[in-house]
Amino acid sequence: MRKMMADIEVKASGDVDRDFVAMMIPHHQGAIDMARAQLRYGRNEQLRRLAQEIIVSQSQEIAVMRLAVTTSLDPSTSPPGATPPTTQPAHPHGASR
């Protein structure tokens, strides 16, 4: 929990989309880490099944968020007349954390 709370502390860049992703990825990763702990140490089968579902769904959502931010940086996918963001990239958080 402490790691997730520290990682979620992101200085606002001015790009709401990037800031959203920069904060949500560590939030989701925290959920994945807690679910892994439940699978390792928990005994309640209903909670273990829920933990498995959390790992799958949150991992997929992290991938979607990363793709959305990456795609928004590609000028070929931006709407006509849109200017690409000039902010810092979101914190990279992988499933290996």
Q: pLDDT per residue over 13-72, tens digit each? A: 888 899 899 989 999 999 999 999 999 999 999 999 999 999 999 999 999 999 998 887
| Domains defined for the chain, CATH in brackets | 16-73 (1.20.1260.10)
CA separation, residue 90 to residues 3, 22, 41, 77 (Å): 17, 5, 32, 19
| Other C-beta atoms lying within 10 Å of the C-beta of residue 31 | 19
Q: Is the pTM of this model over 0.85?
A: no
